[in-house]
Structure 1
Amino acid sequence: MASRVLSCAATMVTPPKLNGMPESSMTCYPSLLLLSSSSPSKAAAKVTLRIGSVKCKALGESSQNSFDRTVYQGIYGPWTVDSSDVREVVLYRAGLVTAASSFVVAASTALLPENSLFDIIKQNLDLFYTIGAGGLGLSLFLIHIYVTEIKRTLQALWGLGVVGSLATYTSLALPAGENLVQYVVNHPSAVWFVGPLFAALTGLVFKEGLCYGKLEAGVLTFIIPTVLLGHLTGLMDDGAKLTLLGSWMVLFVIFAGRKFTQPIKDDIGDKSVFMFNSLPEDEKKTLLEKLEQQKV
């Protein structure tokens, strides 16, 4: 029989060594999980069982991993990057690229001369706006923020902005024979309705700038609200708005593109914190007690 390797990743506490344990009763700390093989003849069999926050895998020697198996030490215990983490991070970054690309294409009408390309973009401004809002929403759904209340607030702002945009289009822009973007440009007070969507974007880039020290994200944190408030109040002339809009476009592209230069684990953060927060209160208390005992 081909030998098996037991890979056990507990959510918060490092499991004890299992060397020498009988194959028919492999146990994962602390007696929470029991793996048994019903088909010992299959050397490459894979048994996965998850209870609460503990996951153990018995892998055949021939199994190969398609993602990073490095064990990182978090505040509440070791953690690893799995395939679902990779998928979430890729989708998160794809959402940012979608939002940035759509914004740049739509905003280019303020800088491009009137030609056939200008006309095509102008006729589809609402489509680009919708795609960009969808990309931002995807990223906000998948973003990793330790404080759940902050994440929910950004998501609520996005939702409020989507509702406000839809209401503005159906109730104001459409009856006036304009698309949504044109209406907001021609009627600055409409920023009140679409503004929450951009407030959510501002919160996202602020988080990125704060966590990773990204200069472009930090600058965007100030440019985005400055452009919107300048347009809303009428205190900013067209030249200043165009300058800031151009800067916004360039920095947004750099920001979205540079996300793909970061390791996957950076966008995950300390996974042990999220795993800890998902535990029931009694399990949190038990884990904290165990960690205190380990320190002693």
Structure 2
Amino acid sequence: MASRVLSCATAPMVSRVLSDSSRMTCYPSLQLLLSSTSTVTVTKLRLRNGSIKCKALGESSQTFYQGIYGPWTVDSSDVREVILYRSGLVTAAASFVVAASSAFLPENSLLSDIIKQNLDLFYTIGAGGLGLSLFLIHIYVTEIKRTLQALWALGVVGSLATYTSLAQPAGDNLIQYVIDNPLAVWFIGPLFASLTGLVFKEGLCYGKLEAGVLTFIIPTFLLGHLTGLMDDGVKLTLLGSWMALFVIFAGRKFTQPIKDDIGDKSVFMFNSLPEDEKKALLEKLEQNKFDQNLE
């Protein structure tokens, strides 16, 4: 359970509900995480699939999910962040697929020529989409999130340096230079390491097969090219698999509930508290647990 909490976005079961004819209080205490609202006036209360659905007088219904440190709800800023996070993944996937498709098109076709002339543009757009997603990704362990972001930044700097110092003087675009000079993978590799970390997190948290397979395909493809131990046929097979799975992965993100990509919001709220408030909250939760056991 502990490892699951550290790495995954989950929404645990609903807390005990105490209500009278006109007011509702979420136990152990809604006030713990929603300090501006001590009680909620309601006309309707529904429990479904581990959540509390509350409808305030004159307002639309709102669902509360019970987290480790108390109830939480999805607000408009959460929805916006999740949509941007998923849009960044779609942008990265679409850019990669378009750029990589040039490897499968006839050598002298018009479409192939157009794509090859704009490979640096597709690479830049894709890297930007990935960066947006890594900026907005919800991971409970801040150090892991910062590591992925640092790898992305290192990969961007390495890509820029490779392009300006090596590819451009040679009259190549960045991708073609890396294809012709496998050692350049060392410079762009951190960018793809950050992508590997992202899909690993998604596969671990949500049990997505395509994300799990991508976790192995991405480094295998790059290492195979770097070492020269992989022939072109195998590399094309892996590249095609990468393209297909990346599209499935990005597309399926929009089939998930918004709350999945938020995770247990109470954990993030708890981590943002000063140490003395964390201690007070933990003591309050322990007291509530003790009171429940007495009952």
Unpaired segments ≥5 residues, structure 1: 1-12, 22-27, 36-58
Tell me the amino acid that sits aligned with residue 104 of structure 2: L
For residue 246 of structure 1, what is the aligned residue in structure 2? 240
For residue 285 of structure 2, what is the aligned residue in structure 1? 291
Task: Please list the CA deviations of residues 208-239 of structure 1 after superposition, one character each: whole Å capped at 9, or x if unmatched.
Answer: 00000000000000000000000000000000
For residue 133 of structure 2, what is the aligned residue in structure 1? 139
Cα deviation, residue 60, structure 1? 8.2
Cα deviation, residue 16, structure 1? 8.9
Q: Identify the match of residue 205 of structure 2 among 200, 211, 214.
A: 211
TM-score by length of 1: 0.80
CA spacing shift, 1:20–1:264, aligned 2, 3 Å: closer
The answer as to whether partners of 2:31 and 2:37 remain within 8 angstroms in 1 is: no
Query: RMSD of aligned C-alpha atoms?
Result: 2.3
For residue 266 of structure 1, what is the aligned residue in structure 2? 260
Q: Does 1:201 align with 2:195?
A: yes
CA spacing shift, 1:84–1:117, aligned 2, 3 Å: same
Q: Does 1:224 align with 2:191?
A: no
Q: Does 1:183 align with 2:177?
A: yes
For residues 153 and 37 of structure 2, what CA distance do their matches in structure 1 show? Answer: 44
CA spacing shift, 1:78–1:120, aligned 2, 3 Å: same
Tell me the amino acid that sits aligned with residue 145 of structure 1: I
Matches within 5 A, 1:73-222: 73-114=66-107, 115-222=109-216
For residue 234 of structure 1, what is the aligned residue in structure 2? 228
Unpaired segments ≥5 residues, structure 2: 1-14, 24-29, 39-54, 291-295
For residues 20 and 96 of structure 1, what CA distance do their matches in structure 2 show? Answer: 44
Count of residue pairs the alignment pairs up: 252
CA spacing shift, 1:267–1:120, aligned 2, 3 Å: same
Cα deviation, residue 100, structure 1? 0.2
The answer as to whether partners of 1:103 and 1:128 remain within 8 angstroms in 2 is: yes
* Identity fraction in percent: 80
What stretches of structure 1 move > 3 A for 4+ residues in a row?
Answer: 13-21, 32-35, 59-65
TM-score by length of 2: 0.80
The answer as to whether partners of 1:16 and 1:29 remain within 8 angstroms in 2 is: no
